[in-house]
Amino acid sequence: METMQTQVLPVNEESIQLAADLLRRGEILALPTETVYGIAADARNGEAVKKIFLAKGRPQDNPLIVHICGMEMLHGLVAQVPDRALRLAKAFWPGPLTMVMPRGPEVSDVTCAGLDTVGIRMPSHPVVQAVIKASGVAFAAPSANLSGRPSPTNAADTLADMDGRLPLILDGGESDVGVESTVVSVCGEHPVLLRPGYVTKEQMEQVLGEEVLVSHAILEKLRPGETARSPGMKYKHYAPKAQVTILKGDFEKYKAYLTAHAAPGVFAMCFTGEGKDLPVPYIEYGTNGDGASQAHRLFTALRECDKAGAQVVYARCPLSSGVSMAVYNRLLRAAAFRVEEL
């Protein structure tokens, strides 16, 4: 692809207006959300959205999420708003929850990867809200990383992947959550969790008063020929250059495994306070049992593994419930499903 000059600008009235102008002109830009940094393009403009796939090197069979700043913007983007969606929106919007609904006539085919559904979210980050309001544009925005790499949670990591690939990065500091939004389908007979995130299955069940089913693709590979209804369902994703393996077991077994496998280029990815007792270089990614702190650190830690020259990374296994389910889901894909029971 053709390279261009990438500006990184602090967030102010002028840079928000520049971002709004770019979106209206069918261009792309990167900006912070509360989850991770994203690349935005007008969701109704297929030619603009194609520029996202080009910048990321992302396959076009992977649907994108559309971002709005008010319920009135759903008109034309969705064919109907199911009652479940209204209840979840009341509880969790604005926030890190994406709902997959029947697609409306105005969303570009490119945005939805040709599907009859569309994922919509109303982010809580003030920068995103300001850009949507200033531009009047509902935008499609996947994470602002090269396809397959860990998602960026700050402007510096965004620039590392996107320098020369888009005209503007708005620097709004570090993202609070650190992993992409929860994705739930509200289309069928039952709500189905397609991608775990900061809004948990348990929280949604409390609001809906019914079970939220969990897609098998959260903890397993997509089956041959199966359609990805949500971003983040592909086999390998969020991965550093190093080969990652998840180790399931207590800390003593983890330490013993690392002692047996210590070699140049071997790194540990462990929980806060554990690294000092390990026989190999380490990078810590949040507190044991605390999904929110692990989510906040996960992608930064994976990028730090690359910066430190890690070739093989053995990661401590998080829990697989609550917010930790999101962390485990991302780690599974970073590890291309390599898991060892200790």
Q: How many domains does the chain have?
A: 2
Indicate whether 232 belongs to any domain.
no
Whether residue 190 sits in one domain with residue 288 = no
DSSP state of 69: S
Whether residue 248 sits in one domain with residue 211 = no
Indicate whether 89 belongs to any domain.
yes
Structure tokens at 209: 């008063």
For the segment 81-109, the average pLDDT, to the nearest whole number, is: 97
Whether residue 200 sits in one domain with residue 84 = yes
What pLDDT is stored for residue 230 in this prediction? Answer: 65
Query: Coil, strand, or helix at residue 341?
Result: strand
Whether residue 248 sits in one domain with residue 206 = no
Indicate whether 252 belongs to any domain.
yes
What is the C-alpha to C-alpha distance for residues 220 and 218, in angstroms, rounded to an integer?
6
For the chain, percent of residues with pLDDT exceeding 90: 89
Whether residue 257 sits in one domain with residue 156 = no
How far the first Cα of the chain sits from its last, in Å, is 45
- 8 A C-beta contact, residue 98 and residue 182: yes
* Per-residue confidence band for 237, with pLDDT thresholds at 50, 70 and 90: confident
What is the C-alpha to C-alpha distance for residues 264 and 87, in angstroms, rounded to an integer?
53
Which CATH number goes with the domain that contains 327?
3.40.50.11030
What pLDDT is stored for residue 238 in this prediction? Answer: 81
* Per-residue confidence band for 58, with pLDDT thresholds at 50, 70 and 90: confident
Indicate whether 1 belongs to any domain.
no
Whether residue 157 sits in one domain with residue 214 = yes
Average the pLDDT over each of 194-208, 222-236, 293-307, 322-336 and give the range with the smallest value.
222-236
Whether residue 325 sits in one domain with residue 196 = no
For the segment 149-175, the average pLDDT, to the nearest whole number, is: 97
What pLDDT is stored for residue 189 in this prediction? Answer: 92
Q: Check whether 316 has a pLDDT greater than 80.
A: yes
Beta strands 243-248 and 339-341, pairing class:
parallel
What pLDDT is stored for residue 236 in this prediction? Answer: 64
Which CATH number goes with the domain that contains 56?
3.90.870.10
249 exposed, middle or buried (CB, 10 Å; 0-12, 13-18, 19+)?
middle
Q: Check whether 93 has a pLDDT greater than 70.
A: yes
Whether residue 22 sits in one domain with residue 149 = yes
In terms of residues, how long is the chain?
A: 342
What pLDDT is stored for residue 46 in this prediction? Answer: 97
Indicate whether 228 belongs to any domain.
no
What is the C-alpha to C-alpha distance for residues 50 and 55, in angstroms, rounded to an integer?
9
What pLDDT is stored for residue 148 in this prediction? Answer: 86
DSSP state of 73: G
Indicate whether 229 belongs to any domain.
no
Range of the domain at 70: 7-218
Q: What's the whole-number average pLDDT of the chain?
A: 94
Q: Check whether 59 has a pLDDT greater than 90.
A: no
Indicate whether 238 belongs to any domain.
no
For the segment 262-291, the average pLDDT, to the nearest whole number, is: 98
What pLDDT is stored for residue 227 in this prediction? Answer: 67
Query: Coil, strand, or helix at residue 10?
Result: strand
What pLDDT is stored for residue 62 in this prediction? Answer: 83
Indicate whether 212 belongs to any domain.
yes
What pLDDT is stored for residue 248 in this prediction? Answer: 98
What pLDDT is stored for residue 233 in this prediction? Answer: 58
Q: Check whether 235 has a pLDDT greater than 60.
A: no
* Per-residue confidence band for 234, with pLDDT thresholds at 50, 70 and 90: low
What pLDDT is stored for residue 226 in this prediction? Answer: 66
Whether residue 211 sits in one domain with residue 130 = yes
